[in-house]
Structures are given as structure tokens and as C-alpha cells.
Structure 1
Amino acid sequence: VKERVADMIIDTIDGYAPNFGRAVVGRQVKSPLDIERDLGMVGGDIFHGALHLDQIYSLRPIPDYSGYRMPVDGLYLCGSGAHPGGGVSGLPGHNAARVILQDRKAWF
């Protein structure tokens, strides 16, 4: 089923960008179940939890841990479960890296 859906998506894009399908040299099609199983993202949720008002900004993942620091010294949260979430590629890691540099008093 997922391969048929992928074909339909490529066909739809072909309607707007002719020859798109011919430019595809490879693909990997994953269902939400595949994503959950392979990457540990419950329900295939790339955001690692809902991005509702109670799960954003200083509330993500919970208020006490929203600053990327965890209660174990040297442990930091830097993935989709951290602010701003999985929808902003790389930013949680960037933000966590800045906190790590502050904590480690980088020489540069």
C-alpha cells in the first residue's frame, strides 16, 4: 500500500513539475508504523509529542527541563522533544549546543 501511495504522490507532483518522476533515482517509503519501529517515534510522530500550547516554548517538554539541561550533570535534551520541536530541523540541537558551551565555559 505505501508504495502505491508513494507512486500517487509522485504522479501528483508530475502534474505540476513534468518529468519529476523520471528524475527520482531512488526512494525509501516509510509508514508511520515503520517510523515508530525504526526511529522510536510513537505513532510515527516526528514532533515527539503534540505541538499544542502546553507543549511549546518554555513548556517543552516540561517546564523544569525546557532549558535543554536534564537533572543528570552533562545530560542535555537536543532532539524533537526539545523546543522548538521536530518541525524546525536542527534547531533543538543548535540551542542545546549553545547551552552546553555556556555550561562548559568554552575557551573560544
Structure 2
Amino acid sequence: FPNMRRGSFKHGDYSPLQLGYFRPNPECSSSATPIEGLYLCGASLYPGALITGGPGYIAANKVAEDLGVKKWWTPPPHVQRYLETYMG
């Protein structure tokens, strides 16, 4: 598939099969891929375009988790509120 076709910065289709958990597909929605050590981030991944920094933050957390690295960063306040409210 072409990337940035006609200048789209959203990457991929904004249809139910490519949103949320399915962005870009279920195997890669958490930034990890089926290829060991290969991680993805950017507008093509959850939570999608227009969520500045979101995919990178998610990827950094996944890489740290997989490598057993202590996270030296804390969630931004809005992420912390979400986690407390919806994730218990």
C-alpha cells in the first residue's frame, strides 16, 4: 500500500476494521510486531493520527516492558486519570 498517498498524514483507512485495536491490524496494535525486536509507532498505529505523541508513548512503554527496563517516565496527567478511572 502506498504511504502518504495524496498527502494524507493519517495513514490507513478510517474504517471500523482499521480503528482502535485493529489499527493497523490486531497483531501490531500494541506497537510490537510478530518479528522479535521490531516495534512500530506513528499515525498508522493506535490511537491513530491527531493524537500527538500517543503512539510513541505506547511504543516506548512496550519496548521497556519487553526489555525489562525500568520506566523513568510517568504517565501524563490525562493518561493517569484515564488509567485510574477505566483501568482500576
Structure 1 gap segments, 5+ residues each: 1-35
Query: 1:106 corresponds to which residue?
Result: 69
CA distance in 2, matches of 1:63, 1:95: 15
Equivalence for 1:4: none
Distance 2:33 2:52 in 1: 21
Q: Specify the structure having the higher radius of gyration (Cα).
A: 1
Report how many aligned residue pairs link the two structures.
Answer: 70
Report the equivalent of 1:70: 33
Aligned-partner Cα distance in 1 for 2:10–2:58: 16
Greater relative CO, 1 or 2 (CA 8 Å, sep 6+): 2
CA distance in 1, matches of 2:43, 2:29: 12
**Deviation at 1:42?**
1.7
Q: Which runs of 5+ in 2 are unaligned?
A: 72-88
Task: Give the conservation status (yes or no) of the 8 Å contact 2:64–2:70.
Answer: no
CA RMSD of aligned residues (A): 1.7
TM-score (norm 2): 0.70
TM-score, normalised on structure 1?
A: 0.58
Structure 1 ranges of 4+ moved more than 3 A: none
What is the aligned partner in structure 1 of residue 83 from structure 2?
none
